[in-house]
Structure 1
Amino acid sequence: MIYYLILICVALIILHLLLNYNKKAIMLRKIPGFKDIFLIGNILDICLPPVQLFSSIRRIAREKNGIYRFWCFPIASVNIYNPEDVEVILSSMKYHEKSQAYIFLKPWLHDGLLLSSGTKWQKRRKILTPAFHFNILRRYHASIAENTIRLVATLRKAVDTRVDIVPVMSDCTLNIICAVEGRDDDEYTMMYAKKKRTAMLDLLILAEQEGLIDPIGIEEEVDTFMFEGHDTTAAGLTYCLMLLANHPYIQDKIFTELREIFGNTKRTASVEDLNAMHYLDRCIKESFRLYPPVPFISRWMNESVTLSNYTVPAGTSCHIHIYDLHRSELLYPSPTVFDPDRFLPENVAKRHHYAYIPFSAGPRNCIGQKFAMMVMKSVVSGIIRNFELHPVTTCSDLRFQADLVLRNSEPVYIKFSKREIAI
């Protein structure tokens, strides 16, 4: 019996050495990280429920200095949240391939713009970029404005009661995306699509006629836009409105700016009006800093790279934790404080170019970021013009879960009351 126990122990030790002391493992384990466990590495540190996993990631980010690694054969990842390393990964096409973190989206999005790489990604990006040119965005404005009016009408039916704004914002952004794509998900979007086909769909159909994309490719890009434009914008609106409800003096400053733009009129906001909302713009950007709708992005390292003076071997996933980057005390003093003035031009100029990346950065940045900002400004301004927001859910109540989109584990409540003098 002792003989067999010795054989088993020797076999386990040899297996441990093979798994955890090969060339790749030795290189990776030089980087600070979770505490290693015999044979299984760091696997227990990520086998956690989603809420606990999110908290665990935040804890180790506070303990480390902008970089840490995960290792459990054959899974290797490096996690970064300092602007210098982020720039190395995002500033060129060298590391543009998405990692296996997105594999569960593949059956739905296939090779759409989010997941494709190489020549296919470049061709698709070239086709779709014109759809988000500023002049083309004007064609989306009518749909955004109409859905803002519908949202305000919905909220009027729920004044002075607490409202879970997560499904409300989700419905609003879904209706906007459906109208922009010309889908017929409800009676309104079908009627709107008959009036005017959208620039995005026009471009895809034209590309199909020119042989640049097939019907399957069109479906991939429409599904990708649904995913990226719907969930993320809804999340951005949810946390922005919650922050404004919890900071009434900032909410009042937004209302003052809106009165300067609209006077006592109740006209619908034009594109020029949205562009004039400079303080609201800063508030939205600060809400994206605190609560980035996409808390992390991930790339595949197909060759070795130096990050924070460590050599990261090829075949490693690189997770860029936007949430932790945006809350770095080195970049943002008092990082948990909601302070829109961080985005005054003179303050932005002092920061590293890769210190703020809610829409990613570099060649593979979010193609729809101007569209998202247009939606955010329209919806938030429409709400503030008509309602005062009162806090129910506070920042300390939030319990996020690990996901591709920043999701709270519980409803996010706000109370709306009618303004005595709406504009």
Structure 2
Amino acid sequence: MLYILLIIVLSLVFLHLYVTYNKDARLLMKVPGRKNKFLIGNALEIFVPPEKLIDMRSGYAKQFNGIYRFYSYPFKFVCIYNPQDVEIILSGMKFSEKSFLYNFIKPWLAEGLLLSKGAKWQKRRKILTPAFHFDILRQFHVTMEENSKQLTETLENVPEKADIVPIMTNYTLNTICETAMGTKLSDETSAAGMSYKNAILTLGNIFAQRFIKVYLFVDFIYNLTSLKSLQKKYVDIVQAFTANVIENRKKNLDQQINIKNNKTEEDDIYNKKKKAAFLDLLLAAENNGQIDRAGVQEEVDTFMFEGHDTTSAGLSFLALMLANHQDAQQKVYEEMQSIFGDSTRVATTDDLAQMKYLELCIKESLRLYPPVHFIARALNESVKLSNYTIPAGTNCLIQIFDLHRREDLFKNANDFIPERFLPENSVGRHPYSYVPFSAGPRNCIGQKFAMMEMKSAMSAVIRRYRLEAITKPEDVRFAGDLILRSIDPIYMKIIKRN
């Protein structure tokens, strides 16, 4: 018995020596980080409730100088938040492959544009880029303004203490469906839309739990948990909704062809070269054999999620900032007065282009509250980051939230100061110090769409209402989710202007 015990002890010691002192580990141990524990490294440090994850990461960002590590064999991570390192990772295609962490959401998003790589990513990006051409955005703008008008009418009937988050979520879901997907939500589909939104929130929480529990990285273990069955349930809800959106649009296009009953018209409707909405381009590509229905589904799943959830979070935090900074809100209102006067007409794209101060507010809000608060890439070869050699096979987490709050990059970094984005105040700022839409070749394809949508919505709101704070920025608790969101409601008073 003693002999067996001795063998076990010696085996554990040798295993510890191997996982701690192998070649990659020796390189990684030179990177600052919390002290390792026997066998398990320091990965238990991230074993915290999801609502404490962002605070924990920010604490490490203050403790370490731009880079730190997590290591629990065989999982290797470095977290970076200085612009020089961020540029190395994002500026080219060398490190364009996503971290294995994104595999956790593949049952939902499969290999759409967010998760695909190599030739498949390049092909899909080429197919979809025309959907965000300026001429198409101008067409989208009409629908955005209609939905913005509906948003202001919704605000007419909110309670005195209103949670802005579900209001903005409804707006962005309706907008993405009607613009990019060409499908207007009816009363019936709106109910399904509610289930869709709730399912997205639940999935975000499920994936957050998997991100922070290293033992759940192993598929075999994860598949034995209740989270796996929950995930399947809510992925089915989400994909049923998006499949219905696809089918509705397909029927609509087929009806147009039947009405025209002309081959030339069919070519026009399903012509991949013709500037068309996002889903129309995908269906055209399917019609031309460039993509199958599963490919259409994964891209729609990706863009329905990214196109409504991130923008909803951005608008909610923008409203929080304006409600808590009456001076900035007043400047936005005065800008609206200078553009529209007493007119109640809807905004044009030229009007949106004149909203310079509102744009500063949006940029500053996205700095403080970037909806995509981290990016994770796989390092397929060794690379020098902050003068440390990071071995191939390491996962690199770009902490956008903490990058944006560095005092050496943004003076009084935790304060809301829109003027910091004036051209004269941006001189000399590192181009990778501000990346709310990522950067480089894999940047967000829909960033102009998102900026137009945020301008359209918030300009309509501020023209008609004054936002008065109830929730303060210091009250906000962040969910350790795929998207930066508040755990609690964001309350404010919405007061109609005379």
TM-score bracket, normalised by the shorter chain, equals over 0.9
Alignment partner, residue 237 of structure 2: none
What are the within-5 Å matches in structure 2 for residues 233-248 of structure 1?
233-248=311-326
Residue 96 of structure 2 aligns to a residue whose secondary structure is coil
Matches within 5 A, 1:134-149: 134-149=134-149
Q: Does 1:309 align with 2:308?
A: no
**Structure 2 equivalent of residue 118 of structure 1:** 118
Where do 5+ consecutive residues of structure 1 fail to align? none
1:354 match? 432
CA contact (8 A) 1:139 1:199 kept: no
Structure 2: segments with no counterpart, 5+ residues = 191-244, 257-268, 270-275
Partner of 1:256: 334
Q: Which residue in 2 is equivalent to 1:157?
A: 157
Rounded Cα–Cα distance in structure 1 between residues aligned with 2:104 and 2:155? 35
Q: CA deviation at 1:125?
A: 0.4
TM-score by length of structure 2 reads: 0.81
1:326 equivalent to 2:404? Answer yes
Displacement of 1:6: 4.3
Measured after TM superposition, the shift of residue 406 of structure 1 is 0.2
Alignment of 1:267-346 (within 5 A): 267-346=345-424
Could you tell me how far apart the structure 2 residues matched to 1:148 and 1:383 are? 8
2:475 aligns with 397
3-state DSSP class of the match of 2:493?
strand
Between structures 1 and 2, the one with greater helix share = 2
Paired residues of 2:182 and 2:277 also in contact (CA < 8 A) = no
Deviation string, structure 1 residues 371-412 (Cα, Å, up to 9, x no partner): 000110011111100111000111100111212100111111
Superposed displacement of residue 82, structure 1? 0.3
Letter of the 1:172 partner, please give it: Y
CA separation in 2, counterparts of 1:162 and 1:306? 51
SS at match of 2:17: helix
Q: How many Å separate the matches in 2 of 1:221 and 1:7?
A: 53
Partner of 2:445: 367
> Which residue pairs with 1:214 in the alignment?
292
Which letter maps to 2:30? K
Q: Is the 8 A contact 1:387 1:418 kept in 2?
A: yes
Following the alignment from structure 2 to structure 1, what is the Cα–Cα distance between the partners of residues 450 and 166?
18
| CA contact 2:27–2:391 (8 Å) conserved in 1 | yes
Give distance in 2, aligned partners of 1:336 and 1:122: 38
SS at match of 1:288: helix
* Residue identity in the other structure for 1:248: Q
Equivalences for residues 62-101 of structure 1 within 5 A? 62-101=62-101
- Tell me, yes or no, if structure 1 residue 226 matches structure 2 residue 304: yes
Q: Could you tell me which amino acid in structure 2 is paired with residue 27 of structure 1?
A: L
Q: Number of matched residues?
A: 418
Alignment match, 2:165:
166
Q: Quote the Cα distance in structure 1 between the aligned partners of 2:46 and 2:415.
A: 29
**SS at 2:466 equivalent:** strand
- Aligned partners of 2:165 and 2:490 also within 8 Å: yes
Shift of 1:349: 2.7
Match of 1:414 in 2: 492
> 1:412 is matched by which residue type in structure 2?
I
Q: Measure the CA separation in 2 of the matches of 1:44 and 1:221.
A: 35
* Match runs of 1:173-212 below 5 Å: 173-180=172-179, 181-183=181-183, 185-187=185-187, 199-212=277-290
What is the alpha-carbon distance in structure 1 between the residues aligned to residue 422 and residue 284 of structure 2?
41
CA contact (8 A) 1:296 1:320 kept: yes
- Aligned to 1:243, what secondary structure does the other structure show? helix
One-letter code aligned to 1:162: K
C-alpha separation in 1, matches of 2:354 and 2:53: 41
Query: 1-side partners of 2:37 and 2:496: how far apart?
Result: 58
Separation (CA, whole Å) in 2 of partners of 1:211 and 1:311 = 45
Could you give the per-residue CA deviations for residues 237-281 of structure 1, whole angstroms, max 9, x where no partner exists? 010000000000100000000000001100001111111100000
How many Å apart are 1:136 and its aligned residue? Answer: 1.2
**In the alignment, structure 1 residue 102 sits paired with structure 2 residue 102:** yes
CA RMSD of aligned residues (A): 1.9
* One-letter amino acid of the counterpart of residue 431, structure 2: H
Residue 53 of structure 1 corresponds to: 53
User: Residues 291 and 406 of structure 1 are in contact (CA less than 8 Å); yes or no, is this contact kept in structure 2?
Assistant: yes
Q: CA deviation at 1:166?
A: 1.2
Q: How far apart are 1:2 and its partner, in Å?
A: 6.1
Q: Give the match's secondary structure for 1:264.
A: coil
How many Å apart are 1:5 and its aligned residue?
Answer: 5.0
Q: SS at the partner of 1:116?
A: coil
Distance 1:28 1:260 in 2: 56
TM-score (norm 1): 0.95
Deviation, 1:350, is 1.9
Percent of pairs with identical residues: 55
Question: Which residue identity does 2:126 align to in structure 1?
Answer: K
For 2:78 and 2:101, the matched residues in 1 are separated by 13
SS in 1 for 2:11: helix
For 1:43 and 1:322, locate their aligned partners in 2 and report how far apart those are by CA, in whole Å.
21
Q: Find the aligned partners of 1:42 and 1:372 in 2 and give their Cα distance.
A: 38
* Letter paired with 1:363: P
Q: Which amino acid aligns with 1:109?
A: L
Equivalent residue number for residue 11 of structure 2:
11
Q: Give the AA of the match of 1:320.
A: I
Please state whether the residue corresponding to 1:311 is helix, strand or coil.
Answer: strand
Stretch deviating more after TM superposition (10-19 or 277-286): 10-19
CA contact (8 A) 1:303 1:314 kept: yes
Secondary structure of the 1:388 match is strand
| Bigger mean CA deviation after superposition, 355-364 or 163-172 | 163-172
Are 2:32 and 2:67, in contact at CA under 8 Å, matched by a contact in 1?
A: yes
CA distance in 2, matches of 1:286, 1:78: 27
Deviation, structure 1 residue 205: 2.2
- After TM superposition, give the deviation of residue 104 of structure 1 in Å: 2.2
Kept in 2, the 8 Å contact 1:398–1:408? The answer is: yes
